[in-house]
Amino acid sequence: MTTPSFAPPTPPNLRIRWSNLPGLSLEKDPGLLAHWDRLNAARGDLPFLAGRAVCTALRTLGQGKERLLIGWHGADVVAMFMLLPQDRLRWQTFQPSQVPLGAWVAVRDLSLQDLARSLLRGPLGFCLGLSITQIDPEVAARMPDAPDNLHSDYIDTGWIDLVGSFDAYWSARGKNLRQNMRKQRVKLAADGVKLSLQALREHADMADAVARYGRMESAGWKAQHGTAIHPDNAQGRYYRELLEQASLNGEAVVYQYLFDERVVAMNLCLQRKGVLIVLKTTYDESIQSLSPAFLLREAELQELFAQGDIRRLEYFGRLMEWHSKWTEQKRTLYHLTQYRWPLLKRLAQARRRRADAAGDAVASDAKATPTTSPSQ
């Protein structure tokens, strides 16, 4: 494995020494990949944070400035962080919007706060602040704020535990959802439309599936905002490579729902050890009177309950109103900001209070200012 270049001594309460390497060193060194995957398995074992998945994100979505920080305790690698400089004095975890959580892994018994302090005072030079972004409390429990750090809410996210039968799960859903889905199926049957769900898992299917997903998404509102997947854009390449790589281990699945031979809704998913993660969902927005994405979700859940291999379905995205129709379960993902000194935290909080007060004043002035109608 690559010979590490060790950083200056770290605080005595956490006896870790760090090596600081280019981010893509992770892909070039099988030993580093093995360490990353071992540590990922210790906390969540998330397929989108597998070593090769992180490398795919670096190649397709990275800026080229990412650094791989490797924490050693004696001869053992106990933590690894993929970090990116925000400016000369601040760093944060590598966090493209397509990756649900910040890119770091560590043994279970190490405190994330202590790791952040050790990083900030060791291998990052004169660093004033370090942000660990989009943390799942099931991966690292949220701790009370300390004088030198701040935990802040990111988003609520939902999940579904697949226990018991689909019938029991479905009977617990709201009456409006159940009736709406039944009416849509009855209407489609009356129109002679054949409904089917397909699950694509083979490596050879992934490229076409992502391209098909991109064409559907590009025809909708996301194309107007420049956020749609396209085979030739960075996120299109990311999802294609991610799913192709995962399919080699049986961990990729693309669900698509069809009206006759027409694909009307799709989910791009990863699965590992009984957990299915829905990365992306799209549907044919030209269909106005029906809900293809809801029909897909109902059929998908029926199949998952029947098969019994998946015990939990995770969304990881922002909890929307429609999620509440399918689950009551939610948790809050959060950020951790570690400051070099407590004074910096106090200054940042004071600056934030002033900005909030200024924003409130602008909003108040806007409400108080009468609006005039244009001349007729």
CA distance 349 to 287: 48
Assigned CATH for 163-310 = 3.40.630.30
Structure tokens at 29: 């060194």
* Cβ–Cβ under 8 Å, residues 340 and 153: no
Assigned CATH for 17-155+333-354 = 3.40.630
pTM flag (> 0.75): yes
CA angle 234, 31, 253 (to 5 degrees): 45
Return the amino acid letter for 252. A
Ordered mean pLDDT values, 10 residues apiece, the chain (376 residues): 37 76 97 98 96 98 97 96 96 97 97 96 92 98 97 98 97 96 97 97 97 90 65 91 97 98 97 97 93 97 97 96 95 98 95 83 57 35
| Three-state secondary structure call for residue 53 | helix
Structure tokens at 149: 């750090």
CATH 3.40.630.30 residue ranges in the chain?
Answer: 163-310
